[in-house]
Amino acid sequence: MRLEAHARTDPGPVREKNEDAFLVDLDTGLFIVADGMGGHAAGEVASAMAVEVIKDILLGDQDPDETRLDRATPDSEETIRERLRYAMNQASQRIRRAAIETPAQAGMGTTVCVLLIDDDLAHLGHVGDSRIYLLRSGRLQRLTRDHTVVQQEIDAGRLTPKLARIVPHKNILTQSVGYHGPVEPDTSTRPVRPGDIFIICSDGLTDPLDDDQITRICLGAPLDQLAEELIQEAIDAGGDDNITAVVVGILDD
């Protein structure tokens, strides 16, 4: 199997800044989306830091705790998920420290979605309300569960998913990288197969577009135009936030 990836990010029609950040690293199969928040451009700082720290820890040479993914010997799935959680926690601690040292960046934080594809397995980790979807056999599955107050209310049966899309507090996060210090990322591992398409996106995409609309767009656009198409449709649907879509296709050799 081989990977093909396409990514687009757009500030959207209203905001001057783009506080989303992403990473596409085809060689290692590492893909990240981060959606930063905080005043005075601090959101940009937080999302960029999260991407850098996580990439460095998972792939780089700077690895004081020797957690680097060692490609020579296969790691257990749990070991890889543990590293994802460690990397996201390191990012959280470093962003928090930077925020304490620089008053203009006080309170900054970011969502993070990490997708690591290693052979025929996909390892996922996330904190916040950016999402990872899988399109398989024409069906779209949401693989992440938002860390939001409304998701908790949906789970408790107090709110319907439809109502959750319009309530005023829909964007309040229960945890975010940086703002909350230590975080408890959700992680999972699943097998991949040729034809799978992963979509990693910020809420700038999923606020204006529901899962049915995203499915329709996925089924209508070729892989190399899908990211662009998703962003255009989000803008056309009235999206006013920064919008990021990373599209990763699993192809036959």
Site for Ca ion, residues 188 to 207, rule: CB under 5 A: 202-204
Q: Measured between alpha carbons, how far is 115 from 106 in angstroms, rounded to an integer? A: 28
Q: Measured between alpha carbons, how far is 53 from 204 in angstroms, rounded to an integer? A: 23
Site string for Ca ion, 200-239 (x = CB under 5 A): --xxx-----------------------------------
Other beta carbons less than 10 A from residue 86's beta carbon: 17
CB of 132 to Ca ion, least distance (A): 15
Residue number with CB closer to Ca ion (10 or 35): 35
Binding flag, residue 241, Ca ion (CB under 5 A): yes
CB of 224 to Ca ion, least distance (A): 25
CB of 54 to Ca ion, least distance (A): 18
CB of 117 to Ca ion, least distance (A): 25
Specify whether the CB–CB gap between 243 and 12 falls below 8 A.
yes
CB of 203 to Ca ion, least distance (A): 5
Residue number with CB closer to Ca ion (55 or 131): 131
Query: Nearest to residue 20, comparing CAs of 207, 248, 190?
Result: 207
Residue number with CB closer to Ca ion (37 or 248): 37
Residue number with CB closer to Ca ion (23 or 234): 234
Residue number with CB closer to Ca ion (176 or 202): 202
Site for Ca ion, residues 31 to 50, rule: CB under 5 A: 35
DSSP-assigned states of every residue in 70-105: -SSSPPPHHHHHHHHHHHHHHHHHHHHHHHHH-GGG
Binding flag, residue 10, Ca ion (CB under 5 A): no
Q: Measured between alpha carbons, how far is 64 from 162 in angstroms, rounded to an integer? A: 46
Other beta carbons less than 10 A from residue 204's beta carbon: 28
Piece in contact with Ca ion (CB under 5 A), picked from 3-11, 38-46, 116-124, 240-248:
240-248
User: CA separation (Å) from 67 to 52, 54, 59?
Assistant: 15, 11, 9
Residue number with CB closer to Ca ion (35 or 44): 35
Q: Measured between alpha carbons, how far is 1 from 194 in angstroms, rounded to an integer? A: 7
* Interface residues toward Ca ion, by CB under 5 A: 35, 202-204, 241
